[in-house]
Amino acid sequence: LVAANLTQGSVTFIDTANRRAFASGPTTAVNLRGVAVFPNGRRVYVVGQRAQNERPTETAIGIWSNQAFVQVPNGRPNTVDNIWLDLLSDEVSDPDSVVLDQGLTRAYMTCTGGHSVLVSGLRSEENVTIREVGACPKGLTFTPDQRELWVANNLSNDVAVIDPATL
């Protein structure tokens, strides 16, 4: 089991058999929200935000950067991969949930502030923003056959359905 620690900026790896944490993976961010575990259980994909306290900001947008991380147990604070989502697309603010497809080719992330879903290639440079999926998308899940990605929209109180083949 892996838990994203919202304010601590790390992920905790938990052995469910003995109910004990056995490792932690620090990141450079806080507001960690969504976490997806790779099938081997030894890597996770987590989304969050990094405070830009080290530089002056002229707009509210400059206060936070939206990021994703691939982290391993007891990994370095700068993680295995540190992906700056703001550089990949617009409308990616406030990343919340993340799921990986079965083939481990893509990560899908809800972006509540952009009312969008960001699709990022795990082994490619692919980055696609699916806009206007609903108001404040929060939850993500694949159907068992992986033919549909369901997006639960918090404020519009509905579910959007995305075809992963065509986006």
Q: Which residue has the higher pLDDT, 86 or 145?
A: 145
13 contact partners, CB below 8 Å, separation of at least 6: 1, 2, 21, 22, 23, 24, 25, 73
Mean pLDDT to the nearest integer, 150-159: 97
65: its two tokens: 């950067």
Q: What are the two backbone dihedrals, phi and then psi, of residue 44, each rounded to the nearest 5 degrees?
A: -135, 155
Q: What is the per-residue pLDDT for 107? A: 96
Return d(Cα 59, Cα 102) in angstroms, integer: 39
Mean pLDDT to the nearest integer, 26-53: 87
Which range is least confidently modeled, 14-18, 69-73, 93-97, 137-141? Answer: 69-73
Which residue type occupies 155? L
108: its two tokens: 């899908």
The answer to whether 96 and 77 are in contact (CB under 8 A) is no
Q: What is the per-residue pLDDT for 79? A: 57
Q: What is the per-residue pLDDT for 116? A: 96
Model's pTM, two decimal places?
0.88
Mean pLDDT to the nearest integer, 27-36: 88
Number of H helices, E strands in the chain: 0, 14
- Average confidence score pLDDT of the chain: 88
Q: What is the per-residue pLDDT for 9? A: 86
Q: CA 86, 91, 95 angle in degrees (round to 5)? A: 70
Longest dimension (CA), the chain: 49
Return d(Cα 35, Cα 117) in angstroms, integer: 15
Over residues 67-87, the pLDDT tens digits come to: 888 888 876 655 567 888 888
Over residues 92-118, the pLDDT tens digits come to: 889 999 999 999 999 999 999 999 999
